Amino acid sequence: MTSYKIGIVTDGLEERIVDGEVRIANGGVGVYIYQLIRHLLDIDDTNAYFLISYSRGLHDIYRHPKAHPILLHLRGLKTPQVMLDRPYLRVAQELHLDVIHFPNQFGGGLLPSSIRRIATLHDLTPLLLPRTHPVRRVLLYLMWARLSLRRCDRVIVHSNATGGDLIRKGFARAENITTIPLGVSHAFRPEVRTQGFMERHSLTRPFILNVGVLEPRKNHVLLVELLKRLRESGEQIDLVMIGREGWRWVNPLSRPEYRALRPYVHIFQDVPESDLIEFYGRASVFVYPSLYEGFGLPMVEAMTCKTPVVVSGTSSLPEIGQGAALYASPYDATGFAAHVSQLLHDTELRSRMIGAGVERARRLSWQRTAESTLWVYESLCAQAAPR
């Protein structure tokens, strides 16, 4: 069997140290890169993997016996060098890489066509919802995304919805797009209970859960409006939001109409995975009113932990959730409140949605994500001589 040299740019896997533990600092993209590499290294005994990054290489995947970390040194301004692909060109040529994978949106647009390249595009929200992103990021997409993605040999997306967005925008050809769903870590499991958990987090009532970066696109205002309506109808329930602060985060509780809800809203930003799993399992309902998602990983993690979910009926979420979720418009607080109320009181519906969610999540795994990605690598490398 032919062995290939595969380069993976891991700059999108950000690091932070909390209580002496190395954690992923940037949510879903970081989780994807980490889990993909970890499972590729576990399942593939044939190919060589070169992990290319400007980071310090603190995550355990850099120390894996099959991994070859290439930690680049920063000389001068990083952004212009990266945009011109100079460091990646040098590494690809020196190591004679067969393919280079950019798993954080796009890259490699200025590499020579003799170097095979793959990009993973998580979503196109900077172009579809420009008001929910910094101007700098929107301009970067306008300047580089089309060039980079159209010159890629393959573009990986996590849903057909994102693939359709790419085609409609003219950013990639249909024959070059491969849909590979994300997975769920085996660590996520239902009915995890530790003594004193609720007291440690100052929780005394059942709660609705939301997980994701605290930023406008995630639509946290609707969550607080939802809580307001439920409590006005007599529900004794709280809201828990878990996520790091993102661009232009403004706490909805700063609005005069929501200040009375402060005792019932809990925001946690540094939550270890063990606590996150227990939050999922203890939640009465998981609610995800995001304006747009390329996949919606927290929804599937909640399903794995036997928590019923109510999500937006937009972008990829109906495709990924299928019949295992209840859907409402991200602009319809009344619709979300009605679904949540149903799940709190209709035991038959609740049981049915939990069962459907567990079955749906069972069909998604990081090993399958890695196997499908490996197929893309090898099928591309096995093509005839470079162009």
* Alpha helix stretches (DSSP H) within 296-365: 297-304, 317-321, 333-345, 347-362
* Strand 15-18 relative to strand 21-24, pairing: antiparallel
Answer for the pair 83, 144: CB distance below 8 angstroms, yes or no: yes
What's the token pair of residue 204? Answer: 């005394």
DSSP 155: E
242 φ, ψ to 5°?
A: -120, 125
Alpha carbons 333 and 224: distance in angstroms, whole number: 9
Rounded to 5°, angle at Cα 180 from 3 and 386: 40
Answer for the pair 108, 87: CB distance below 8 angstroms, yes or no: no
- For domain 197-362, give the CATH number: 3.40.50.2000
Alpha carbons 207 and 201: distance in angstroms, whole number: 12
What's the token pair of residue 255? Answer: 């609005």
As to burial, measured by CB atoms within 10 angstroms (0-12 exposed, 13-18 middle, 19+ buried), residue 286 is: buried
- Per-residue CA distances from 286 to 10, 107, 147 (Å): 31, 34, 38
| Cβ neighbours, 10 Å, residue 257 | 10
CATH architecture of 5-183+366-381: 3-Layer(aba) Sandwich (3.40)
pLDDT tens string for the chain (387 positions)? 799 999 999 999 999 888 888 888 888 999 999 999 999 999 999 999 999 998 899 999 999 999 999 999 866 545 665 667 888 999 999 999 999 999 998 889 889 989 999 999 999 999 999 999 999 999 989 988 998 999 999 999 999 999 999 999 999 999 999 999 999 999 999 988 999 999 999 999 999 999 999 999 999 999 999 999 999 999 999 999 999 999 999 999 999 999 999 999 999 998 999 999 999 999 999 999 999 999 999 999 999 999 999 999 999 999 999 999 999 999 999 999 999 999 999 999 999 999 999 999 999 999 999 999 999 999 999 985 554
Strand intervals (E) in the chain: 5-9, 15-18, 21-24, 48-53, 67-71, 99-102, 117-120, 154-157, 177-179, 207-211, 238-242, 265-268, 285-288, 309-312, 326-328
Assign 165 to helix, strand or coil: helix
What's the token pair of residue 336? Answer: 């979300």
In the block, which residue shows the tokens 């969550």? 223
Decide if 5-183+366-381 and 197-362 have a common fold. Answer: yes
What's the token pair of residue 276? Answer: 């996150």
Alpha carbons 334 and 199: distance in angstroms, whole number: 31
- The answer for residues whose C-beta is within 8 angstroms of residue 102's C-beta and 6 or more apart is 9, 108, 117, 118, 119, 120, 148
Alpha carbons 120 and 105: distance in angstroms, whole number: 5
Answer for the pair 230, 262: CB distance below 8 angstroms, yes or no: no
Q: For residue 310, give the nearest of 289, 321, 326 by alpha carbon.
A: 326
Domain positions in the chain are: 5-183+366-381, 197-362
At 75 the pLDDT is 62
Could you tell me the maximum CA-CA distance found in the chain, to the nearest angstrom? 69
- The answer for residues whose C-beta is within 8 angstroms of residue 384's C-beta and 6 or more apart is none
